[in-house]
Structure 1
Amino acid sequence: MFSRPFRIKSNTAIKGSDRRKLKADISTAFPSLSADELSELVPNKEELNVVKIYAHKGDAVTLYVLHKNPLFFELERRLYPTVYVLWRYPALLPTFRTWPPVLQKMIGGADLMLPGVVVPSAGLPAVKQGDCCAVTVVNNRAPVAVGTAAVSSAEMHSLGMKGRGVCVLHTYMDNLWAFGDKTVPPSLPDAETEEQDINGEECEIDEEEEEGVEKCVEKEQSPSETVVDQACSGVEELTLTEQEKGQRDNEEEEGNQDDQKMPQEIMDALLLQCFLHALKCKVKKSELPLLTSTFLRNHMFSCCPSGKQLDIKKSSYKKLSKFLQAMQQQYNLVRVKELTKGVESIVEVDWKNQELHSFTIPEGSDVGAALVQEGEEGETPYHPPEITTLYSVSARLEPVFLDANKRKGTILQPAEVRKIVTDYVKKNELVDENNKNYVTINPTLCDCLLEKSEYQEVESLKWDDLFSRTLGRMQECYQIVFPGQAPIRRKGHIEPIDISVASRGSNKKVTLIKNLETYGLDPAVVATALQHRVQASSVLQPIPGSKDKVLVQIQGNQIHQVGNLLLDHYQIPRKFIQGLDKAPKGGKKK
């Protein structure tokens, strides 16, 4: 769940009444905790924060954070402990053991499969399906993952230890762990594994077993390579001594200080580069006067090099207006004027300026790359699916299709339907002898295609009318094919991407986008791309009554920008986008 970055909605201090309720909920969920242990986890006088977040799939999650460490997370009204709590109370949950290399896969978003579970001599812990449980690695009792049991202990044995064992929600080294102080697991010796020494062999995984690690986990689609790389270093940290941990922590702190020495200067340089690039290649004289917000959104962001992200708030200027003012004073490149109260525009550009004239466009600059961050490194770029309309043979039309061995429910391409109908007409010699543009209606076609009121009146139909009536009485289906994947066929009409505008408090407008998942689009990626384009906040909300669909909400009427993103960047055909006509009309306000 936390293998990818999440979005923070709010971060507030908990109220006194809510603190008492949280303590009661923890006591109910984990009755093994004593009163003193509860007071340590939820102290009465220390600051405890409630952080509401949206996971990358849109799940609404509540975090309870103490001393910057998330202690519990609440999902669908159920509390789960984080690894920070389990390192203090390792016996809080029933635990399953696995091999260290399996942890690498779980950090990337995989579930723990039963072949990867190490069964102790005492047997598996007694759990029911859905029970909260933890995962440890051999030789260390410190839990490294939290999840729910996919099946009960009895079913695990009856399945022959095959299939999914634990549905993993949170792991050491994921983004929820990184939200805290990033401490490493303590070294808690596992008494049983220390005693095990069968035939003098240590409990290690040999090369053949390493090749079988893939069978021990079930991956999510396209796990990030960088997360797996982090996991590899995380597994090594599990075996470090306390002295080595201290040395590594010191080295990491020094490295982080070096990395943070000049972030503003780096962002200032990137800001200047994008500014000059936009003036030299993007802005036309006919566009002046040009709103400064439009200049940033449509020109500067598109000039940002691939792999980098332009963020004015991380620069020394903090605001676009201050940056443009500096460009006007230092280089005399542009002249900015407030044409409307509170709204600044670029009214003049010095195209002959030496600074602009000497600027060279960086090699390998990809103008379109900065428009949408396609996600983490290792993910494949998006390609639009191929969508085809199909038709299913209905019970009423079955007599016409029986000669072609096509029975009720058979799904056909429109061209196949035309061919079968044409063959049926020719086989039964129904082409009108006097006018071959018409087809004579026999009793079978009469029952299949005509209304009751037409039985006595209609004796023949044109070919086009014959085909359209046939398709009209078939059940419409659609086929969607993503590159490199098997075709997906479903009945009914394909739902278009729906774009609408709604009003919120104080009559503020927000743009809502639905059905992105149908076309293989990640709502979180689309929301991030829109944020970069329009510099407005966005929120992901689960759609009531829909299991896997998420609604993207972004401030303002952004239909024009959403349409450009879907049509130009993602290349979704216009007929599959609904609501583009609601974009605000251009023109000056009176």
Structure 2
Amino acid sequence: MFKKPLSGIKTSAPLRSSDRRKLKQRVVTTFDVSSEDADLLVPDGIQSVKFSTHLEEPGVAYLAPDGDPLWFTLGKGSDDLIPTVYTLWKRRNILPVLSTPAAVVPILVGGADLMIPGERELVSILQYNHSRENPTLSPPLAVGRMALPSDRMAEGGQEKGKAVLVLHTWKDHLWELGTKGDQPEPLPFAPEPTESAPISALEAPPEEANPGVDQPTTHALANLAINPPEESAPHSAGPSYSPQEISSLLHMTLLQAISSTIPSSAFPIPATLFYTNYLLPSRPAFPALLVPHSGPTPRDASPCPSSAEITIKSSTHKSLTAFLKAEEKASLLTVKAPQKHSQQTDILITSVNAKHPSLLGHHRYATLKDVEATAAKKAMREGKAREAQAGSGEVKVTELWKPHQATVGLFDRMGGDPTNIYTLADVKTFLNSYISANSLVNAQEQAYINLDEALFNCVSSKAKPGKSKGMESIESGPAEFMKREELTKAILERMQSWYEVSSGKEVVRKKGEIKPIQVVMKVRQGRKVSTMISGFEPFLVVNAEDMVEDLRKACAGATSVSPIAGKPANSGLEVLVQGKQSAAVVEYLTGKGVPKKWVEVTDLSGKK
């Protein structure tokens, strides 16, 4: 569908809050995801853009703030919402899964359909990498619509024709609209043999695959497997560890955390912070490699239990206090009950035994923290590579925030470094992890977050002057809960504003709030209209003297540069262009690489 460039792309526009809520509800209802997952898949700042395919079919794409296309519709007035590869990389299990050998994937990316006619159910397509020791499944690489019912595919019939009508693939022109990040890591796959015939009935060798459209592609569909989404029904959610197995994995997690050298200065640590900051990040990324699942595995389920199962509530201990006391009895750590009449209700971990004999036999493994760090490094390398290729291309503006005053204590509680500077995504990640770890989602209304002491102290403190008008209720009296979006906004307003501007190899980071370049048209000297440009200095690629000369030629009129009138010295320069020249100025600035969203045009001339 997107094997050729899109045409007729309109300017993207942010969705209104009401439209975002409707889109989020469609995602929750259609794909059976939780409200928290829907916030990730329909984030704040999501934008919509209209386009046409090379077949002149109209469509709408929904873009994340960073430009990644997350959802799209095809057809005029269509309500059929389709996730992109970027969305499936965030949540792999929202669609049924169909796997195919590695030799077929380049054919799909080239625009061919999977061949073998039918059901119109959406599916994601993965690459099955065969290995006797470590078979794996790639992240989703394509999205399509079933042309053949899954039960007929499982029967091993000899039908020929299309099995899946491919709509969108990794590396197609819709994918190219986004940040083009690296694929997530593949997951281990170890299917259990069953008495019934395997779902894959087309056993032609991969060597027969070639870019043909009909018969060759049919032969390439070897080892076909269909797995329902994990969240669609309880029986298809995959195997679960027993409480005893969870307890064993938690014990290994504690050994991993202790062997990672927790600084002595960190003690004493409240139990909940120890669990959030050290135990949860130390859980194994691939637990089945440490403790093989002993229970029966449903035929249509993934054989690999998830790391998300490794929680205190799923173990034999049932409570964090019981777990810690059991480990204290094993001499791995020491705990202390809170003092009477103290506001602290958590027990305290006063020390850990880094010389315990069981640590000598502990083999370090890949943790969730390691996997996330690896993904972050890949994303950073990809970003640097894109910047290097861009050279003197588009200016990248990133708004940043640093913990300040009331938010310092909150970030300390959330496990962050109060001296660091964070992006919006970083702040949301810390906050969402803290909310999840402390079970702060309101039981009656999941759109709201219950405020614990740390959150309440932060948002009830005085915000920056001229900021949000929605905090009066909190500042005038105690509030028990807030909407997640309002809570995030309130925290940001109490942090210190920073920004980073990069162009090619030049990167500048400064304290303060960056504002758009001002292009103002107003009447000067009687009836003459002039266009004045100011605030361009932070954007690196715009020089006042060059702008004066370039606009003089482009507008065929007089230009000049001078300090901004009415402002203190060193407040910046103002370029004046004779006439009503906003269109020419905007074209000049965007041609230099300044994003259009950072150019603000105001007409005070009173003339149309």
TM-score interval, normalised by the smaller of the two chains: 0.3 to 0.5
TM-score, structure 1 as length reference? 0.34
- Structure with the larger RCO, 1 or 2 (CA within 8 Å, 6+ apart): 1
TM-score, structure 2 as length reference? 0.33
Q: Which has the larger radius of gyration?
A: 1
